[in-house]
């Protein structure tokens, strides 16, 4: 009788038999990379893994815009909760994968070894839908991207649904996080939402894992939870679960 009952449960609930799988928020698609159709897997709205072509296996970072971190509920500002902004971030990969964008790369990489890729139409669309920030490491963002951002803000789309802040904290770095305390210096990066300028803010602080850190821009506060890169995807701390 017990064996028959177990068989019935397994037949009715195949997920129980195989083990429950966690739902991911990655999305597969294709794009034109230097004119060649290329299969990709989007991990969030501004980066993907190349799955075909001459750059197969490379991770990437798109230039010109920045989406919120999709590895966990780490952002907070205004009346948003970290989980609410995380939900917006998770939806960004689906938007990026919804069309076949035309993109280019000159083969250069960022500081993390990711291939730098430019997808102008995608940049503008992600920003216009309120799923990304205009982001310029040097100078300010091009006017079309700033115009798209102002449109998203005025319409309350995506990350602007609960109002606008003048600066968004997009990355945290703790002193000694790479095991090197030689100069005792680090920086955080804050994007000015009026210009797109992604400015470094130097500091000499050492952060604990899961510590919330806040930066203020002209009276507006934006916060982020610090998690070292090596713990964002494996051996995740409780604040990411």
Per-residue model confidence as pLDDT tens digits over 58-99: 999 999 999 999 999 999 999 999 999 999 999 999 999 999
pLDDT score at 95 = 94
* Residue 102 is assigned to a structural domain of this protein: yes
User: How confident is the model over 93-114, as pLDDT tens digits?
Assistant: 999 999 999 999 999 999 889 9
Choice among 17-31, 116-130, 143-157, 199-213 with the minimum mean pLDDT: 17-31
pLDDT score at 14 = 35
Q: What's 111's domain CATH number?
A: 2.40.50.90
Predicted confidence band at 2 (pLDDT cuts at 50, 70, 90)? very low
Q: How far apart are CA 226 and CA 116, in angstroms?
A: 25
Q: With 70 as the cut, is the pLDDT of residue 32 above it?
A: yes
Instruction: Residue count of the chain, please give it.
Output: 241
* Residue 10 is assigned to a structural domain of this protein: no
* Residue 5 is assigned to a structural domain of this protein: no
Q: How far is CA 167 from CA 71, 173, 197, 205, 223, in A?
A: 21, 17, 10, 20, 10
8 A C-beta contact, residue 65 and residue 123: yes
Q: How far apart are CA 125 and CA 99, in angstroms?
A: 11
User: How confident is the model over 175-230, as pLDDT tens digits?
Assistant: 988 766 657 899 999 999 999 999 999 999 999 999 999 999 999 999 999 999 99
Q: 60-72 burial by CB neighbour count: b if 16+ within 10 A, else e?
A: bbbbbbbbbbbbb
Q: How far apart are CA 198 and CA 141, in angstroms?
A: 9
Percentage, residues of the chain above pLDDT 90 = 82
Q: With 90 as the cut, is the pLDDT of residue 49 above it?
A: yes
Biggest distance spanned by C-alpha atoms of the chain: 73
Structure tokens at 238: 């409780």
With a CB cutoff of 8 Å and minimum separation 6, the contacts of 205 are 174, 175, 186, 213
pLDDT score at 178 = 73
CA neighbor of 210 nearest in space, from 223, 194, 230, 225: 225
Enter the pTM of the model.
0.86
Q: With 50 as the cut, is the pLDDT of residue 27 above it?
A: yes
pLDDT score at 154 = 98
Predicted confidence band at 18 (pLDDT cuts at 50, 70, 90)? very low
* Residue 138 is assigned to a structural domain of this protein: yes
Q: Stretch 163-186: mean pLDDT, rounded?
A: 87
What is the domain extent for residue 232?
Answer: 22-240
Q: Give the helix, strand, coil percentages of the chain, each rounded to 5.
A: 25, 30, 45
Which of the pair, 154 or 4, is modelled with greater confidence?
154
* Residue 13 is assigned to a structural domain of this protein: no
The mean pLDDT of the chain is 89
8 A C-beta contact, residue 191 and residue 175: no
CA 119 to chain centre: 16
* Residue 49 is assigned to a structural domain of this protein: yes
* Residue 58 is assigned to a structural domain of this protein: yes
* Residue 42 is assigned to a structural domain of this protein: yes
Domain count, the chain: 1
Percentage, residues of the chain above pLDDT 70 = 88
pLDDT score at 179 = 66
């Amino acid at each position: 009788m017990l064996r028959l009952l177990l068989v019935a449960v397994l037949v009715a609930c195949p997920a129980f038999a195989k083990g429950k799988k966690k739902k991911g928020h990655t999305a597969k698609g294709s794009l034109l990379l230097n004119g060649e159709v290329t299969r990709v897997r989007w991990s969030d709205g501004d980066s993907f893994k190349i799955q075909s072509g001459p750059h197969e296996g490379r991770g990437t970072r798109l230039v010109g815009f920045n989406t919120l971190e999709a590895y966990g509920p780490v952002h907070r500002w205004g009346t948003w909760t970290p989980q609410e902004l995380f939900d917006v971030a998770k939806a960004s990969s689906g938007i990026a994968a919804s069309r076949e964008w035309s993109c280019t790369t000159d083969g250069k990489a960022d500081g993390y070894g990711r291939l730098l890729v430019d997808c102008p139409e995608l940049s503008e669309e992600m920003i216009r839908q309120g799923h990304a920030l205009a982001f310029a490491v040097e100078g300010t963002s091009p006017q079309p991207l700033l115009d798209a951002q102002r449109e998203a803000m005025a319409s309350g789309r995506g990350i602007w649904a609960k109002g606008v802040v003048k600066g968004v904290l997009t990355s945290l770095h703790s002193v000694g996080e790479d095991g090197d305390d030689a100069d005792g210096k680090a920086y955080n990066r804050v994007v000015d939402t009026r210009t797109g300028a992604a400015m470094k803010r130097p500091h000499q602080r050492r952060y604990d894992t899961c510590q919330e850190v806040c930066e203020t821009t002209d009276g507006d506060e934006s916060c982020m939870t610090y998690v070292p890169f090596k713990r964002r995807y494996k051996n995740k701390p409780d604040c990411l679960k």
